Chains A and B, each alone.
Chain A
């Protein structure tokens, strides 16, 4: 699978945004969450996740901030900015529309549109 592919990249971005909706998380926690919720199917390698995190930070959707982790180690936490929250909302609704459309198409029973 192409790790930087368009579809996948967009998917990772939206998953990252989703991962931080419950509060600031560091990169490892985000990776763990994505692996957990996707059964490790989407994130084959963890490196590209960081490229995505920094890209999203540059776009202003995430705000990076240094803090201390549960085991008292310095870690970089990512928080959803206002712009990020709006972006997530837009992407979620786009995903839903897309999934509905593709799902409808794939579950079609006859060659003629209904």
Chain B
């Protein structure tokens, strides 16, 4: 028997084969019958008769064969994949250096991307862990979780009476809950240690609306806010129960003292629930009805002008977010209109935009602060990954060329081209899988590090960072993209390999300029691309750093290096009126005795304290176009404030101890305010009308950056702290102490002075102004630092890539260079040639990259302060750094080329 055919392929071949087999049988039988003497027609009938049910047999044979073939094909595929994998593993193990470099750099890229995405997932994307978060609707500015506003109603933060009205009036919600800030809680358990849990005032239906159950005990009775002060109970979080009480079940029912009042712990929330605020865990929930008990000097529950609540509601089935937005917005405006005030007339109530958004992701200040920086960083690490992929592609490409002979041989012995490409892709996929696994580990660690860096103080922002499904999906997606990118070049090359060129390429080639270019065109393209992307990253980093420098060195308009800021809890401790004045006098005397203290002053809001007040007013003769025109920042300050903080008085006088409650109302304005309302004239003697009070402007001071370095100073006016009877009483007391030397040295003495005055006033909020200022731009500092790190990394990788490509090119051109040297070229000619090649690539990259960088940095605009995105200095710096790095990277292979011995070089293959 001679074997001639393999099994055929394609549909129908199974039937054909069965037919052929069976007809062979029938013919053989027929022939035998004829040989035995039967008539041919009868023989055919007899053969069929002996065979039996021909169609049935044929069908069952076909079915059996098709089954068998399917199984075989599947096994064949699996076998091929397994073979590819084993072969790929062998190749990777044979080149451990190559494998390590690729896996490590890729892991770095994938890890950095995943780490940033983990943060984005936790801060921006993930829903809060409650039942059906998609049904929730958030009412109010979700970033204002810690705000308290007094004096006029608002549409981004709400008062308790408005909440009650809306709860009754709306028809789109099954329930509406409220949540608001509390003052600092001083909690003692059975006369023990003092704790300061993070607390929220919440409506009694809060847990019911969110669908959060108790893990132990119970949550609030729905009628807990029926009577003011009538529910001295609290619910604690599972996390706080674990941290503070070691999960002791006896705390249930126990009474603790908070700010002097007794509260009973009635329940612990189920594990995993940390409150509705992302990035700010809640330890303790207290019913809103207890607000007055915890803040005895303030009754906020019946005041429509005190806004401190954010609302969260659950929509009825079938209600859309848009529907809820329309109805709730209308209701809120209607409620505000019904209760219009002079400072907030019905017309304003009608026109105001009400903040209503999906409540699925809860409230978050962290989200507002970090969204843009996170997306900026995401773009940065994505570019970094592009550069890393180019490097990997280059390495693979160089290796593919080195393996040209192997490919040629495999083609020659009959391997399918598609199989070779698949083999290469399998190697890439294996590399990518290893890198992605290492990258995930890196990300797990990196995201925690980033969070720590992003957190201002010693306490880390409480975010639930976990490698969950979206994160894994993201990692898988970028890994697949990366494989597609860096696997494409060598695969394309392999698919172009022909037997002829591979065999020819083994011959030595002295005059081979064109061929060389062809063979490594992809690599050079990648280098130019890398340069372009690096340029984008470098320009971005340079801009962010320059912007940060600008803020750090900006003239704040005061003596930033010699001020110590102290936040004193005087008003919460019951100091008012004459008692408060006496306290201030005593503090003045005590601090004056501290060595190095030059001056002491005080104000309501302090400087860089994070607390701001705004006031609405009228200016006679000034016509407002928008409500913003008659609202500015304000502060209540002590006598001698301007001189004491090192600010500059431009005109008039500042407050004296005589500007008190018995003297006429006066005000200071800053230059921005004077210029806005009284352009081209003096502000002195002009008047500001607040409700029924008239203030005379007695002085103008140069602009001070009181609360932000990220924005130019805004309009602001100052009133005497001691003129209490005009407007409301100040809510806080912030003391500023000016020192001759380093203010940090006075911290201990100031703390002692406070303690000696009244032990209750002991505070840890004593900070040099310069550190408060640095904290206020901690987010900008973090982004600038990370961008610089990414930029440096990109530069390093691009330089390594360039070095690799040039070294490779020099190796390939060994005999060409040898010939040139033999023909009389000098060392510097050779160096110039190699450097020239390198700079040509860099130049191409820069020509592509510069417009890209300018376009890309536009997206940085919101991150930049006092600097334009198209900053020539940043661009120039980036170009210079790139060129220098390229020269350094090119110098090594260039010198190598110049040192070549012409004879040896000519002999080289």
Chain A residues whose C-beta falls within 8 Å of the C-beta of B64 in the assembled complex: 51, 54-55, 57-58
B22: chain A residues at CB < 8 Å are 50
Interface stretch of the complex, out of B53-61, B377-385, B529-537, B850-858: B53-61
Q: Smallest distance from the beta carbon of B76 to chain A beta carbons, Å?
A: 15
Q: CB of A45 within 8 A of chain B? A: yes
A14 CB–B CB distance under 8 Å? no
Residue of B nearest to A70 (CB): B1
Docked-complex contact B21 and A76, CB < 8 angstroms: yes
Contact present for B50 and A45 (CB under 8 Å)? yes
A58-B52 contact given A28-B24, A50-B22, A75-B21, CB 8 Å threshold: no
B9 part of interface (Cβ distance < 8 Å): no
Q: Establish whether residues A65 and B3, one from each chain, have CB atoms under 8 Å apart when the complex forms.
A: yes
Contact status of A58 and B57, CB under 8 A, knowing A66-B5, A73-B24: no
Contact with B along A57-87 (1 / 0, CB 8 A): 1100000011111000111110000000000
Question: Could you tell me the distance between the alpha carbons of A44 and B28 in the complex, rounded to whole angstroms?
Answer: 17
Contacts of A53 in B (CB 8 A): 61
The A interface is mostly helix, strand or loop, or mixed, namely: mixed
- Chain A residues whose C-beta falls within 8 Å of the C-beta of B29 in the assembled complex: 28, 46
Is B4 a contact partner of A47 (Cβ separation < 8 A)? Answer: no
Given A27-B21, A76-B21; A68-B50 close (CB under 8 Å):
no
Interface string of B801-845 (1 = CB under 8 A from A): 000000000000000000000000000000000000000000000
Residue-wise interface mask of B (33-65) relative to A, using a CB-CB cutoff of 8 A (1 in contact, 0 not): 000000000000000001111101100110011
Q: Chain B: interface residue count, which band?
A: 20 to 34
Q: Determine if B60 and A51 form an interchain contact, defined as CB atoms under 8 angstroms apart.
A: yes
Q: Which residues of B contact A47 (CB under 8 A)?
A: 51-54, 56-57
Query: From residue B4, how far is it (CB to closest CB) to chain A in Å?
Result: 7
From A28, A50, A51, A57, contact of B28 by CB (8 A): A28
Question: How far is A26 from B26 in the complex, measured between Cα atoms in Å?
Answer: 13
A31 at the interface (CB under 8 A from B): yes
Pair B4/A75 contact, Cβ less than 8 Å? no
Instruction: Please give the distance in Å from A43's CB to the nearest CB on chain B.
Output: 9
Q: Is B17 an interface residue (CB 8 A)?
A: yes
Bound-complex Cα distance A31 to B283 (A): 87
Q: B579 CB to closest chain A CB, in angstroms?
A: 100
Q: Least Cβ distance of A42 to chain B in Å?
A: 14
Min distance, Cβ B18 to any Cβ of chain A, angstroms: 8
Whether A67 and B57, one on each chain, are in contact in the complex, defined by CB atoms closer than 8 angstroms, is: no
Q: Is the CB of B57 within 8 A of A48?
A: yes
Which residues of chain B in 139-167 are interfacial with respect to chain A, using CB atoms and an 8 Å cutoff?
none
Contacts of B53 in A (CB 8 A): 45, 47
Nearest B residue to A59, CB-CB: B68
Q: How far is the CB of A60 from chain B (nearest CB, A)?
A: 9
What residues of chain B lie closer than 8 Å to A77, measured between beta carbons? 1
Select the residue from A3, A26, A45, A46 with max chain B CB neighbours within 10 A. A46
Distance between Cα atoms of A15 and B75 in the complex (Å): 30
Which residues of chain A from 68 to 114 have any CB-CB distance to chain B below 8 Å in the complex? 68-69, 73-77
Nearest-neighbor residue (CB-CB) of A55 within chain B: B64
Interface centre among B2, B5, B20, B57 (most CB of A within 10 A): B57
Number of interface residues of A (CB under 8 A): 27
CB nearest to A40 among chain B residues: B50
Q: Is the CB of A24 within 8 A of B24?
A: no
The residue of chain A having its C-beta at the shortest distance from the C-beta of B32 within the complex is: A32
- Shortest A26–chain B CB gap in Å is 7
Contact: A54 with B50, CB < 8 Å?
A: no
A69 nearest CB neighbor, chain B only? B24
Q: B74 CB to closest chain A CB, in angstroms?
A: 14
> Does B67 make an interface contact (CB < 8 A)?
yes
Does B169 touch A at the CB level, under 8 Å? Answer: no
B25 interface residue (CB < 8 Å to A): yes
Complex CA gap A54/B15 in Å reads: 13
B residues within 8 A CB of A76?
A: 17, 20-21, 24
CA of A98 to CA of B28, assembled, Å: 36
A98 to B672, CA, bound (A): 112
Q: A50 contacts which chain B residues (CB < 8 A)?
A: 21-22, 25, 57, 61
The distance in angstroms between the C-alpha atoms of A27 and B5, with both chains bound, is 18
- Docked Cα-Cα span, A68 to B1, in Å, equals 6
Contacts known (A51-B61, A75-B21); A24 close to B1, Cβ less than 8 A: yes
Give B94 Cβ to nearest chain A Cβ, in Å.
34
Tell which of B1, B52, B68 touches A3, judged by Cβ atoms closer than 8 Å. B52
Contacting residues, chain A, for B5 (C-beta < 8 A): 66
The reply to whether A67 and B3 form a contact with Cβ atoms under 8 Å apart is: yes
Chain B nearest Cβ from A58, distance in angstroms: 4
How far, in Å, is A6 (CB) from chain B's closest CB? 17
Chain A residues within 8 Å of B60, by CB: 51, 54
Cross-interface CB contact of A74 among B20, B25, B67, cutoff 8 Å: B20
In the assembled complex, which residues on chain A have CB atoms less than 8 Å from the CB atom of B1? 24, 67-68, 77
| Among candidates A24, A46, A55, A57, residue contacting B50 with C-beta atoms closer than 8 Å | A46
Which residues of chain B come closer than 8 Å to A24, judged between CB atoms?
Answer: 1
CA distance A75 to B3 in the complex (A): 11
Residues of chain B contacted by A55 (CB below 8 angstroms): 64
Instruction: List the B residue with the shortest CB-CB distance to A67.
Output: B1
**CA distance in complex: A67, B4 (Å):** 6
CB-based contact A66/B54 at 8 Å: no
Q: Which residues of A contact B56 (CB under 8 A)?
A: 47
- Complex Cα–Cα for A74 and B21 (A): 8
The docked-state distance in angstroms from the alpha carbon of A77 to that of B3 is 10
Taking CB atoms, residues of chain B closer than 8 Å to A46 are 25, 29, 50-52
Nearest CB of chain A from residue B105's CB, rounded to whole Å: 48
User: How many angstroms between the C-alpha atoms of A106 and B214 in the bound complex?
Assistant: 81
A46-B25, A50-B61, A76-B20 provided; 6 other pairs, C-beta below 8 A? A45-B51, A54-B64, A54-B65, A58-B64, A68-B2, A73-B27
8 A-B pairs closest in CB distance = A45-B52, A47-B52, A47-B57, A67-B1, A54-B64, A58-B68, A28-B28, A76-B21
* Contacts from A to B (Cβ < 8 Å): 3, 24, 26-28, 31, 45-48, 50-51, 53-55, 57-58, 65-69, 73-77
Footprint of A on B, CB under 8 Å? Answer: 1-5, 17-18, 20-22, 24-25, 27-29, 50-54, 56-57, 60-61, 64-65, 67-68
Please, could you name 16 A-B residue pairs with CB atoms under 8 Å apart, sorted by A? A3-B52, A26-B21, A26-B25, A46-B50, A46-B51, A50-B22, A51-B57, A54-B60, A54-B64, A54-B68, A66-B3, A67-B1, A67-B2, A67-B3, A68-B2, A76-B17
